[in-house]
């Protein structure tokens, strides 16, 4: 028998889709502009399930909660159970930035005003 946090069929029910932000394969990375050294934080699926055409896709960090799928063979929840998952997603929603933030190479946010 699989642990509770691992879905045995990797399929959501009809009302709830799998939230990619709760998957162990969802990873944050820095996309850096080589000319300036500035970067933005993005998120990608390390298993390559997010595609843009034929290329692996990524999304800005502030949009990660919008990534959902009805099924995924590689989905592994980071939460122990449904209540833990809902608490994690609520906390994530409250702490994610509201918009794209550009950072200087030293990690300070760029003032765009």
- Domain locations in the chain as residue ranges: 18-103
Tell me what pLDDT residue 45 has.
95
Tell me what pLDDT residue 54 has.
78
The helix (H) or strand (E) run that includes residue 84 is: helix 82-95
DSSP letter assigned to residue 8? S
Q: Mean pLDDT for each consecutive 10-residue tract of the chain (113 residues)?
A: 42 71 95 98 93 84 92 93 93 94 97 86
| Sequence-ordered list of residues with C-beta below 8 angstroms from that of 93, at least 6 positions apart, any chain | 65
Q: Residues of 33-46 as b/e, b for ≥16 C-beta within 10 angstroms?
A: eeeeeebbbbbbbe
């Amino acid at each position: 028998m699989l642990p509770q946090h691992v879905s045995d069929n990797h399929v959501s029910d009809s009302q709830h889709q799998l939230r990619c932000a709760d998957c162990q394969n969802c990873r944050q990375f820095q996309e850096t502009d080589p000319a300036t050294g500035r970067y933005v934080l993005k998120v990608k699926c390390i298993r390559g399930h997010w595609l843009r055409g034929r290329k692996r896709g990524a999304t800005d960090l502030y949009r990660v909660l919008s990534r959902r799928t009805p099924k995924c063979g590689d989905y592994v929840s980071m939460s122990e159970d449904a209540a833990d998952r809902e608490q994690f997603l609520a906390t994530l929603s409250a702490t994610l930035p509201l918009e794209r933030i550009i950072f200087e190479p030293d990690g300070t946010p760029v003032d765009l005003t």
